[in-house]
Chains A and B, each alone.
Chain A
Amino acid sequence: NAGVTQTPKFQVLKTGQSMTLQCAQDMNHEYMSWYRQDPGMGLRLIHYSVGAGITDQGEVPNGYNVSRSTTEDFPLRLLSAAPSQTSVYFCASRRRTENTEAFFGQGTRLTVV
């Protein structure tokens, strides 16, 4: 059982480049979300999805796009990378019912130079 898988684990981008952070889960969870974590801070919600075809903005959505075409995958796109987007990114998934636990990936450490 792989859980939540994020790729890549590390990435360096130049300012202005675009890229997609991948997130996949194999637990058939309806809810998926993306967070960023800056040094010494808690996690902040970027975007989330309650099911295939449905996404919504979180606390810090600017500069990021998401889509959810399947239950399993929830990619995060950086449109034009900026140094302020240097952070560690975490993807999470959760079952819709029963207010149960969320499962997190191991994170993607992104540096924008």
Chain B
Amino acid sequence: DAKTTQPNSMESNEEEPVHLPCNHSTISGTDYIHWYRQLPSQGPEYVIHGLTSNVNNRMASLAIAEDRKSSTLILHRATLRDAAVYYCILSSYFGNEKLTFGTGTRLTIIP
């Protein structure tokens, strides 16, 4: 499976935008980029995913580099409830029955 690299931790002020980076230099053409987050004492929850184009949903935006070797999860206006560990995961179009988690980025929101 192709690997992803994320910073161990980040801090952001409440009500400010947050940009969470992810490097995936060995991504293949059939790999989707998924983001999940895990709130304290909860199971992971889906945030967003994309293949080539930037994506928006009610939770966040996903910006994908033109060469697809990196991506950025954007939380437009962080709240205290966004404090979580964020995981960037590659999921192949073929054989996507399992997800491989790294250690993720622990996001701290400062009131």
Contacts and interface: CB of A to CB of B under 8 A. Distances in A.
Interface stretch (B13-21, B61-69, B70-78, B93-101): B93-101
Given A99-B93, A102-B99, A90 B49 contact: no
Contact of B42 (A42, A99, A103, A106): A106
Interface string B79-106: 0000000010001010011111111100
Instruction: Give chain B's interface secondary structure class.
Output: loop
Contact of A45 (B49, B93, B100, B102): B100
A50 interface: yes
Contacts of A48: 97-98
B45 A104 contact: yes
A42 B97 contact: no
A107 B43 contact: yes
Nearest to B103: A42
Interface in A65-112: 90, 92, 94, 96, 99-107
A43 B91 contact: no
Interface residues of B, number: 22
A33 B99 CA distance: 9
A90 B91 CA distance: 19
A43 B101 contact: yes
A4 B45 CA distance: 12
Interface in A20-71: 31, 33, 35, 41-45, 48, 50, 58-59
Contact of B96 (A41, A43, A45, A99): A99
A43 B98 CA distance: 12
Given A90-B44, A106-B43, A35 B101 contact: yes
Interface of B: 32, 34, 36, 41-46, 49, 87, 91, 93, 96-104
Interface of A: 4, 31, 33, 35, 41-45, 48, 50, 58-59, 90, 92, 94, 96, 99-107
7 interchain residue pairs of minimum CB distance: A104-B43, A101-B46, A42-B101, A43-B101, A31-B97, A42-B103, A48-B98
